[in-house]
Amino acid sequence: MHPRRPSNPTALMAAVAALAVTALAGCSGSAASGDQQPAGGPLKIGLIVPQSGPYKSIGDDLTRGWQFYLDSHGGKLGGHTVEVVTADEAEGKQTALNSVKKLLDKDKVVAIAGTGTADSVESIKTLVTEEKVPFVGTGGRPSTLTDLTYIWHTSWLSRETGQAIAQHLRTTVDGPVYVIGPDYVGGHDQIGGFVDTFTGAGGKLANDGGKPAWTPWPATTNFLPYLNKVTGSGAKAVYCFYAGTAAVDFVKQYEQAGLKGKIPLYAAGFLTEGAVLTAQGPAADGVRTVLNYAANVDNPANRAFAPAFQQKYSAAPNIYNVTGFDAALVLDLAIAAAGEQPTSQSINAAIGKLGAIDSPRGSWRFGTAHSPIQPWYLREVQNDGRARANVVVQNLTTLGS
């Protein structure tokens, strides 16, 4: 269920501020110490998120999580005042690349955080690596990266989401599964992670030719021609990956196609995450998803974070809020450990030495893939007594290496 409103917001906000101090226990340096500013003024940090386009709601959520951390730490990271320079990711690709070029060439940022899609990471990977500026990603992470030296993610590897739920569907669904997703890098990774694991364990796809159905992205808004094929396919369940405005359209049209209540809908958690769940309304009820966070995850960090976040924003936190929050937390710890005059390279080196991160999703650490080793949960859209919510119903697995 959603966390209750705090009776003492000040105390809870103090508890949120203490998260960074707790996380520092196994690290050198302290985010609470050392107020000396770097020569030339505040540290400039770039924040690139979708400020327009189909993933704007994700960008809004990432920004809230990031800002929530800064607000609870006096606008400082690692004891240094920071100037956050924002940039628009839009739909990714060229827009994201142009935004990062500006952050690096004009704004001279020492680190960059953000992005919602794997497409954007694919676009900017070479530039941030050549410029030797650490990038702390908060959204989709493509499987195409080879040089991870300056690339880190507080989110997930894009293939992990489907991998985490594949075995559950293979053992609980009595028959073939119809699989569908958007035709772009992130979509291929998300769906591919599920299909490879599911079929590798003996599962069968209901799709024609045993291949996933791909919808043009971001152009597709009418999913009915695809959904109308599900009934005749013999599918006993559907698995999909969509996010943003496409997620709203897909869930509503799933009900319009007469599939709701007949064929269970499973998905990567982004299908019902954040603002899209409100927009989907009752059409989302009963949808089961896999993700690495829900507002009812029970651990000390989340018991401080979730009520304080809801008090400030009048909404339960979601994974985008958490990955934005954790990106700021990671940079806080790294900047604190990078010395009195932090540079891009000293910050990047410090990220590589961080230990456990005490996050609202649970304690995690960076693995060899520079992404979290973390648990994954099966969630169901239910009314938790206050509002429609993604409620954890089962722990699925832990992934990462």
Instruction: Give tens-digit pLDDT for 97-156.
Output: 999 999 999 999 999 999 999 999 999 999 999 999 999 999 999 999 999 999 999 999
Joined tokens for residue 235 = 């599918």
Are both 9-156+297-370 and 160-291+378-399 of the same fold?
A: yes
What pLDDT score was predicted for residue 32?
34
Domain ranges of the chain: 9-156+297-370, 160-291+378-399
Joined tokens for residue 252 = 């509503």
Torsion of CA 376, 368, 318, 177, to 10 degrees: -40
- The total number of residues shown for the chain amounts to 401
How far apart, in whole angstroms, are the C-alpha atoms of residue 59 and residue 56?
A: 5
pLDDT band at 244 (very low <50, low <70, confident <90, very high): very high
Mean pLDDT, rounded, for 296-304: 94
Residue 368, classed as helix, strand or coil, is: coil
Mean pLDDT, rounded, for 342-354: 98
CB 170 within 8 A of CB 203: yes
DSSP track, 98-131: HHHHHHHHTS--SEEEE-S-HHHHHHHHHHHHHH
What pLDDT score was predicted for residue 152?
98
CATH architecture of 9-156+297-370: 3-Layer(aba) Sandwich (3.40)
What pLDDT score was predicted for residue 34?
33
pLDDT at 365 over 60: yes
pTM here? 0.87
Mean pLDDT, rounded, for 20-33: 36
What pLDDT score was predicted for residue 29?
34
Mean pLDDT, rounded, for 391-395: 94
Write the pLDDT tens digit of every residue in 66-103: 999 999 999 999 999 999 999 999 988 899 999 999 99
Helices 118-131/185-200 angle, 10° precision:
110
What CATH number should be reported for the domain whose range is 160-291+378-399? 3.40.50.2300
- Residue 205: DSSP 8-state: B
How far apart, in whole angstroms, are the C-alpha atoms of residue 6 and residue 26?
A: 30
